[in-house]
């Protein structure tokens, strides 16, 4: 009966054990099915330890995982809180291997008796606290250790647990299930680790992408350099960073940005091979130092800031190191691992691209600025015109020459500035240089420009824009015209002067014989003979006057200049001029009271006034007003003469005499010819064409200048300018 009872008890116990094994197996299968859904290493380790605790009935379980530095640290626990100080330990790989004794291996799991495990377990305090935390009953039985291996069979972690529920060792079936579960846990850990690595890499790449986009948008070099250091600090979680750039001229690294405690650094230049940055420059490779204060190559100015871990990476462009980016940790124990170095190197590659982009932009900007300054300071008019003939760009020379501001020209039809009487501008093709074209200034006057255009085509050869060039030749043409006029006047003057002298000799003889003939006439001579002789005398007198004008025009008459007050001349002629002008013309005066004195022949000045007054009278057939004015004029050494007509006058003091009428006026063509000898607008027999030529000759021979301002329908003003020589005189009229 007793034997039968014992057998019954054994059977019952075996049945209970089998039931527990089946339940454990079912629980492990359930946990295993959920492991593949977990995405982090911590969540896998937590599920593994809790699965073992619940499925196999362990009181406590710990899962340790490699720390990447040759040790293992707790990553998950059941029956403990991860914040429990008992789990603050690290066990070396060799210590774990001492517990994985093949003599105690069952189905890939290791069951060590208390006394064996106690002898082989590490004795440092943190590990002992875990060992003591397993409970007093645990040491009366066994430790269970299940290794977790990677694909290569290397130990990547282990599960450590005790079984205080009963004194029975885990069955082989339970250990088999646990080994299978551990293999599945290892696979889940690898997948979670890969996913974490991928997630971290994606996060890093996303951060790099965001950072790079932000850097590429920065085109100012100084702003970009600071943004590079600031972004690098954010990526690796440190407030301390710097950036050096290579200075080719001095062959040194120049400190361009310093943030964090590097702001207190005094060194700004570094030679190749000097310090961490110089070493990176020399070797072209990144350099990470765990403790800068113990590094033999440390620099005094940086060591004063007490940095700990320091990392420097090269900024490479075109295969050459163009700078060094550095970061530092101030806290003891923080270091830059391989992943940190790789991340900062990838960032440095992108930062180098942004740096090169900013440098290229700066070069383009400086080149554009140089070209802009060249264009804006060019004396030539340079413009860009679209195919519709409108300005899209005009340099500053347009305002100097034509008077239009650039903003007034942009959008303006270029042909609207050209002289409509000249051939139209050809903007559709290349136009050869024109000798001279007239362009209207803003004030309505004309500028003489040499102009040409070049057709600009796009990449496929289609016309796109027209580039226009023009040079102001107004002064050159004016001087050339003056030279031509002077040469013509000189030629005519020589001819007229020679003829006048010979003609004067003939007139002297004719006049003399006429006077002798008149004296010899008897009282009984026919009246017709007397009238004929008088006609000869009158004709001889008129011819003598004409000869005098020719001599004045040719500047070969003998003048008798003296210091002269123009007011006296005007006063002496006032009544005579009034009679000559008649009742239909009003004579008025505008004389300056402190007028200076001039040197001239008073008789010739009277002749000038008389000729101008007679011309004015003829220009006002219906009556009008003739105004005679005087004024003092000063032309300084550093300022141009006021008005185009005065530009040939040297700096000094002058007196002006103006004769203005309200007559019919003249167009620009007539004003250009008005002083030419024998040129007249009057009918045949009404004028000799020498009146104004005589005025020009007298004034020029007196050292002065004369010019005319006139507009058709708005009268004419002649201005005579003579050098001033003495103190002012009193107003006489």
Q: Are 342 and 362 contacting, i.e. CB atoms less than 8 angstroms apart?
A: no
Contact 553, 493 (CB under 8 A): yes
Q: Output the domain CATH number for residue 348.
A: 3.30.450.40
pLDDT of residue 130: 46
In a domain, 143, yes or no: yes
Taking residues 500-511, report their average pLDDT. Answer: 70
Domain boundary among 440, 472, 504: 472
Q: Enumerate residues 6+ apart whose C-beta is below 8 A from 76.
A: 42, 44, 45, 46, 47, 48, 49, 62, 63, 82
Q: Is 655 found in the same domain as 610?
A: yes
Mean pLDDT of 32-52: 76
Residue 111 confidence (pLDDT): 80
498 and 490 in contact (C-beta within 8 Å)?
Answer: no
Residue with the bigger pLDDT between 403 and 733: it is: 403
Looking at the structure, tell me whether residues 421 and 494 fall in a common domain. Answer: no
- Please name the helix (run of DSSP H) or strand (run of DSSP E) that holds residue 62, with its range, or none: strand 61-66
Is the CB of residue 57 less than 8 Å from the CB of residue 50?
no
Q: What is the pLDDT of residue 214?
A: 66
Q: Within this chain, do residues 22 and 171 fall inside the same structural domain, yes or no?
A: yes
Is residue 730 in some structural domain? no
Mean pLDDT in residue range 197-203: 72
Residues 542 and 676 in one domain: no
Reported confidence tier of residue 135, pLDDT bands at 50, 70, 90 = very low
d(CA 69, CA 542): 129
Q: Look at residues 407, 441, 472 and tell me which one is the last residue of a structural domain.
A: 472
- The three-state secondary structure class of 364 is helix
Q: With contact defined as beta carbons under 8 Å apart, do 60 and 84 qualify?
A: no
**Confidence band (pLDDT; 50, 70, 90) for 310?**
very high
Give the start-end residues of each E strand in 534-676.
562-564, 585-590, 598-600, 624-635, 652-661
3-state secondary structure of 597: coil
Based on the fold, state whether residues 57 and 158 are members of the same structural domain: yes
Angle at CA 266, nearest 5°, toward 260 and 267?
105
What is the C-alpha separation between 474 and 439, in angstroms, rounded? 10
Is 31 part of a structural domain of the chain? Answer: yes
For residue 694, pLDDT over 80 is answered with no
The residue among 126, 156, 147, 127 whose CA lies nearest residue 65 is 156
Q: Which residues of 58-87 are buried (b: 16+ CB within 10 A; e: fewer)?
A: bbbbbbbbbeeeebbbbbbbbbbeeeeebb
Give CA–CA dist 339/347, Å, rounded: 12
pLDDT number for residue 658: 94
Residue 268: inside a domain, yes or no?
yes
The stretch 499-518 carries a mean pLDDT of 71
In the predicted model, what is the mean pLDDT of the chain?
78
- pLDDT bin (cut points 50, 70, 90) of residue 286 is very high
Kind plus residue range of the DSSP H or E element containing 723 = strand 716-723
> What SS3 class is residue 159?
strand
The total of structural domains in the chain comes to 5
CATH of the domain at 445: 3.30.450.20
Between the CA of residue 479 and those of 16, 482, 647, what are the distances in Å? 129, 5, 11
* Cα–Cα distance measured from residue 513 to residue 532, given in angstroms and rounded to the nearest whole number: 13
Both 568 and 703 in a single domain? yes
Q: Which residue has the higher pLDDT, 38 or 502?
A: 38
Residues 97 and 24 in one domain: yes
| pLDDT tens digits, one per residue of 219-242 | 777 888 888 888 888 888 889 999
Locate 676 and state its tokens.
Answer: 């030419």
Question: Are residue 539 and residue 667 in the same domain, yes or no?
Answer: no
**Mean pLDDT, range 117-141, rounded to an integer:** 50
Quick one: pLDDT at residue 137? 41
> Is the confidence at residue 684, as pLDDT, over 50?
no
Question: Alpha-carbon Rg of the chain, whole angstroms?
Answer: 57
Sign of CA dihedral 274, 280, 281, 283: positive
pTM score, whole prediction: 0.47
Give 103-144 as a 3 state SS string. Answer: HHEECCEEEEEHHHHHHHCCCCHHHHHHHHHCCHHHHHCEEE
Binned at pLDDT 50, 70 and 90, residue 128 comes out as very low
How far is Cα 662 from Cα 660, in angstroms, rounded to an integer?
A: 7
**Pair 662, 571 in one domain:** yes
CA distance 283 to 326: 15
Q: Are 254 and 245 in contact (CB under 8 A)?
A: yes
pLDDT at 638: 42
Residues above pLDDT 90, as percent of the chain: 16
Q: Is residue 213 part of a domain?
A: no
Indicate whether 339 belongs to any domain: yes
* 345-362 per-position pLDDT tens digit: 988 888 888 888 888 888
What is the number of helices (H) and of strands (E) in the chain?
18, 25
Q: What is the pLDDT of residue 628?
A: 94
Domain boundary among 472, 495, 530: 472
Query: What is the per-residue pLDDT for 395?
Result: 92
Examine the domain organization and report whether 482 and 468 are in the same domain.
no
- Two structure tokens written together for 502: 């010979």
Q: Would you say residue 128 lies in a domain?
A: yes
In the predicted model, is pLDDT for residue 627 greater than 90? yes
Highest-scoring range by mean pLDDT, 23-27, 156-160, 712-716: 712-716
Residue 179 has pLDDT above 70, yes or no: yes
Centroid of chain to Cα 694: 61
Q: What is the pLDDT of residues 463-495, one digit of tens each?
A: 889 888 888 888 777 777 766 666 666 666 566
- For residue 167, the enclosing domain spans 2-197
Distances (CA, A) of 558 to 282, 338, 561, 635: 93, 108, 10, 30
Half-sphere exposure of 196 (CA within 13 A, CB side): 13
Task: Let me know whether 185 and 223 are in one domain.
Answer: no
Q: Is residue 209 part of a domain?
A: no
326 and 389 both lie in a single domain: no
The CATH number of residue 549's host domain is 1.10.287
Q: What is the pLDDT of residue 551?
A: 58
Q: What are phi and psi of 683, to 5 degrees?
A: -70, 170
């Amino acid at each position: 009966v007793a034997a039968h009872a014992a057998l019954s008890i054994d059977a019952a116990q075996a049945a209970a054990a089998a039931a527990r094994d089946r339940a454990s197996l079912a629980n492990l299968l359930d946990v295993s099915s959920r492991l593949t859904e977990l995405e982090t290493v911590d969540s896998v380790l937590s599920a593994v330890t809790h699965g073992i605790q619940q499925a196999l009935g362990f009181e406590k379980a710990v899962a340790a995982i490699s720390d990447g530095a040759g040790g293992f640290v707790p990553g998950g626990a059941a029956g403990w809180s991860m914040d429990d100080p008992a789990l603050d330990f690290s066990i070396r790989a060799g210590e774990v291997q001492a517990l994985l004794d093949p003599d105690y291996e069952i189905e890939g799991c290791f069951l060590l008796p208390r006394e064996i495990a106690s002898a082989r377990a590490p004795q440092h305090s943190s590990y002992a606290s875990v060992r003591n935390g397993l409970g007093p009953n645990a040491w009366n039985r066994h430790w269970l250790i299940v290794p977790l291996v990677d694909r290569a069979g290397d130990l990547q972690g282990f599960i450590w647990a005790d079984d205080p529920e009963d004194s029975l060792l885990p069955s082989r079936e339970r250990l088999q299930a646990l080994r299978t579960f551990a293999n599945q846990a290892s696979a889940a850990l690898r997948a979670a680790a890969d996913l974490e690595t991928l997630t971290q890499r994606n996060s890093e790449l996303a951060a790099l992408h965001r950072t790079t986009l932000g850097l590429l948008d920065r085109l100012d070099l100084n702003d970009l350099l600071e943004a590079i250091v600031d972004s690098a600090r954010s990526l690796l979680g440190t407030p301390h960073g710097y950036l050096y750039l290579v200075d080719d001229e001095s062959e040194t690294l120049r400190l361009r940005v310093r943030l964090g405690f590097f702001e207190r650094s005094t060194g700004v230049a570094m030679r190749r091979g000097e310090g961490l940055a110089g070493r990176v420059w020399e070797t072209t490779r990144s350099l990470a130092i765990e403790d800068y204060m113990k590094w033999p190559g440390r620099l005094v100015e940086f060591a004063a800031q007490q940095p700990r871990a320091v990392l420097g990476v090269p900024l490479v462009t075109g295969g050459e190191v163009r700078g060094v980016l550095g970061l530092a940790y101030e806290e003891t124990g923080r270091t830059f691992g391989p992943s940190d170095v790789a991340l900062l190197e990838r960032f440095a590659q992108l930062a180098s691209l942004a740096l090169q982009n900013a440098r290229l932009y700066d070069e383009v900007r400086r080149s554009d600025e140089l070209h802009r300054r060249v264009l804006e300071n060019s004396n030539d008019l340079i413009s860009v015109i679209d195919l519709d003939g409108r300005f899209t760009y005009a340099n500053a020379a347009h305002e100097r020459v034509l008077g239009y501001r650039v903003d007034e020209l942009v959008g303006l039809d270029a042909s609207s500035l050209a002289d409509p009487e000249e051939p139209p501008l050809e903007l559709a093709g290349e136009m050869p240089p024109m000798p001279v074209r007239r362009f209207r200034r803003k004030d309505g006057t004309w500028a003489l420009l040499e102009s040409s255009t070049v057709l600009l085509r796009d990449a496929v050869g289609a016309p796109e824009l027209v580039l226009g060039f023009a040079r102001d030749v107004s002064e050159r043409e004016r001087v050339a015209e003056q030279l031509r006029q002077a040469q013509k006047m000189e030629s005519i003057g020589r001819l007229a002067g020679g003829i006048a002298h010979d003609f004067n000799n003939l007139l002297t003889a004719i006049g003399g014989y006429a006077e002798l003939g008149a004296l010899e006439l008897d009282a009984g001579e026919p009246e017709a003979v007397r009238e004929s002789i008088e006609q000869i005398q009158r004709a001889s007198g008129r011819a003598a006057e004409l000869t005098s004008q020719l001599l004045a025009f040719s500047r070969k008459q003998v003048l008798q200049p003296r210091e002269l007050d123009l007011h006296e001349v005007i006063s002496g002629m006032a009544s005579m001029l009034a009679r000559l002008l008649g009742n239909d013309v009003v004579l008025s005066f505008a004389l300056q009271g402190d007028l200076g004195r001039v040197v001239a022949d008073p008789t010739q000045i009277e002749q000038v006034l008389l000729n101008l007054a007679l011309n004015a009278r003829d220009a006002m057939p219906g009556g009008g007003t003739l105004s005679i004015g005087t004024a003092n004029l000063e032309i300084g050494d550093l300022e141009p003469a006021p008005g185009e007509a005065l530009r040939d006058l040297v700096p000094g003091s002058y007196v002006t005499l103006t004769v203005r009428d309200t007559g019919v006026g003249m167009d620009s063509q007539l004003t250009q010819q008005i002083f030419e000898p024998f040129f007249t607008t009057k009918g045949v027999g009404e004028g000799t064409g020498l009146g104004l030529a005589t005025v020009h000759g007298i004034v020029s021979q007196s050292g002065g200048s004369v010019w005319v301002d006139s507009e058709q329908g708005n009268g004419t003003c002649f201005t005579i300018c003579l050098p001033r020589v003495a103190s002012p005189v009193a107003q006489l009229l």
